């Protein structure tokens, strides 16, 4: 454990685990951190077991000195068929049940038939339920895309909602799919496509605000460049409105993340290309239930900025974390490559974000708790050192 103090923040770092893959904490729309009512923090990621990836969750608790330490690590998925299990998304309900989704196939004989899987723990991560496929979809044969990148949300009355992207027998393009559970994850509704479109749709995330469900994704739809879109359901996911453009630019926009504050204000971040600087930058916009604010750059830079996430604390301070690098990073697809992770914050009384603060060098895919019970925030990231160690940071301003 190490503690660092910079100009405005104190950062206490804890080693969580190691993974052989820098993408073990990707991608922006997923949620890899959650906190229960007792203050325990849980981190979800993947690492290899006998050459194939499985899903793990580590539990951290604060000791008498106020520092976090890993007190338990459990393997959630147990696939014995030599098939990778990838990209978990984590959430905790009001009863402190931990819910998790990810994607993976059931056997090596049908490795391309990757479905969205679910499990839960009712004893703070000590044991996990048997995994199940929440809503099977007949996959394409000989295709390089499948059901992937699920995002999980626990809503009002502990309803569970999952969105993801994938093809099916009726479309050659990825569509944003939706399923829900009203019985603590025991059964799930049959999947539906949210507003099917001719164009592919990617990397969704879902939240709830003032009783309404909001789903965000990026797609070209009928435009020349990728844009950030959202749709709303007023009836608990039965029907959805038209996709509406939030970014509203002529520039490539992807990799979004959303959070809701205690006043039901929605906060959204994404990365967008800046044609003047010829760099990508992190954009931010908020929604009061009626209108989105004009998207603004969080922290102008001469570097490329990627993979932002946003979190809210109990005082409605907005925290944004992202990674920067001088390299192009595979734009626009953005293949993993280490950069410097930064964090910035904004109070409800200010219009702009603070000067960015350095969190880590040679790091990948920072994740932040969407909502925190304390002043400050929590961030998870991977680094290039020693087989990609996963680091947890307690950030205090």
Neighbours of 163 (CB within 10 A): 29
**Phi/psi zone of residue 43: left (φ > 0), alpha (ψ -120 to 50 degrees), beta?**
beta
Mean predicted lDDT score pLDDT of the chain: 93
- Please report the pLDDT score of residue 144 as a whole number: 64
CATH number reported for the structural domain that contains residue 111 in this entry: 2.120.10.10
pTM: 0.96
Q: Which candidate, 346, 343, 386, 344, places its Cα nearest to that of 362?
A: 386
- Please report the pLDDT score of residue 140 as a whole number: 63
Is 110 in a helix, a strand, or coil? helix
- The runs of H, that is alpha helices, within the chain are none
How far, in Å, CA of 162 to CA of 92, rounded?
14
How far, in Å, CA of 149 to CA of 143, rounded?
17
- Please report the pLDDT score of residue 308 as a whole number: 96
Cis, bond preceding 332 (omega within 30 deg of 0): yes
> What pLDDT, in 10s, does the model give residues 162-217?
999 999 888 889 999 999 999 999 999 999 999 999 999 999 999 999 999 999 99
Which stretches in the chain have pLDDT values below 50? Answer: none
How far, in Å, CA of 55 to CA of 316, rounded?
32
- Please report the pLDDT score of residue 376 as a whole number: 76
Task: Domain of residue 303: give its range.
Answer: 2-396
The count of structural domains within the chain is 1
How far, in Å, CA of 4 to CA of 16, rounded?
18
How far, in Å, CA of 340 to CA of 366, rounded?
10
Q: Quick one: tokens of 26?
A: 């990707």
DSSP for 341-379, written as a single string: EEEEEE-TT-SSPPPPEEEEEEEEEEEE-SB-SSSSEEE
Handedness of CA 163, 203, 356, 346 (dihedral sign): negative
Please check whether residue 308 is in contact with residue 295, taking contact to mean a CB–CB distance below 8 angstroms: no
Q: Quick one: tokens of 111?
A: 């490795």
């Amino acid at each position: 454990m190490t503690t660092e103090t910079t100009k405005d923040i104190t950062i206490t770092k804890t080693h969580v685990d190691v993974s052989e893959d820098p993408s073990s904490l990707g991608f922006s729309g997923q949620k890899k951190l959650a906190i229960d009512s007792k203050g325990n923090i849980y981190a979800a990621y993947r690492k290899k077991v006998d050459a194939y990836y499985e899903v793990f969750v580590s539990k951290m608790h604060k000791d008498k000195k106020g520092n976090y330490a890993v007190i338990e690590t459990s393997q959630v998925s147990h696939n014995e068929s030599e098939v990778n299990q990838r990209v978990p998304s984590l959430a905790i309900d009001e009863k402190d049940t931990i819910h998790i989704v990810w994607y993976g196939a059931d056997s090596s004989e049908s490795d391309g038939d990757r479905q969205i899987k679910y499990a839960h723990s009712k004893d703070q991560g000590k044991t996990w339920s048997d995994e199940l496929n929440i809503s099977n979809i007949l996959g394409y044969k000989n295709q390089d895309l499948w059901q992937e990148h699920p995002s999980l949300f626990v809503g009002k009355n502990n309803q569970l909602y999952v969105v993801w992207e994938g093809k099916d027998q009726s479309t050659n393009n990825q569509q944003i799919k939706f399923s829900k559970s009203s019985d603590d994850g025991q059964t799930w509704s049959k999947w539906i496509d949210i507003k099917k479109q001719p164009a592919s749709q990617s990397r969704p995330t879902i939240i709830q605000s003032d009783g309404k469900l909001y789903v965000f994704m990026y797609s070209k739809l009928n435009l020349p460049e990728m844009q950030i879109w959202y749709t709303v359901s007023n009836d608990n996911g039965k029907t959805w409105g038209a996709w509406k453009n939030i970014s509203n630019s002529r520039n490539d926009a992807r990799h979004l993340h959303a959070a809701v504050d205690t006043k039901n204000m929605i906060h959204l971040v994404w990365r967008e290309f800046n044609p003047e600087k010829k760099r990508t930058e992190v954009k931010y916009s908020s929604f009061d239930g009626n209108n989105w604010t004009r998207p603004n750059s969080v922290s102008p830079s001469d570097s490329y900025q990627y993979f932002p996430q946003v979190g809210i604390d109990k005082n409605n301070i907005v925290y944004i974390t992202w990674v920067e690098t001088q390299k192009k990073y595979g734009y626009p697809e953005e293949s993993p490559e280490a950069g410097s992770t930064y964090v910035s914050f904004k109070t409800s009384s200010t219009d702009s974000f603070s000067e960015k603060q350095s969190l880590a060098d040679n790091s990948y895919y920072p994740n932040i708790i969407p909502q925190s019970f304390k002043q400050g925030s929590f961030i998870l990231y991977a680094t290039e050192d020693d087989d990609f160690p996963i680091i947890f940071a307690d950030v205090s301003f």
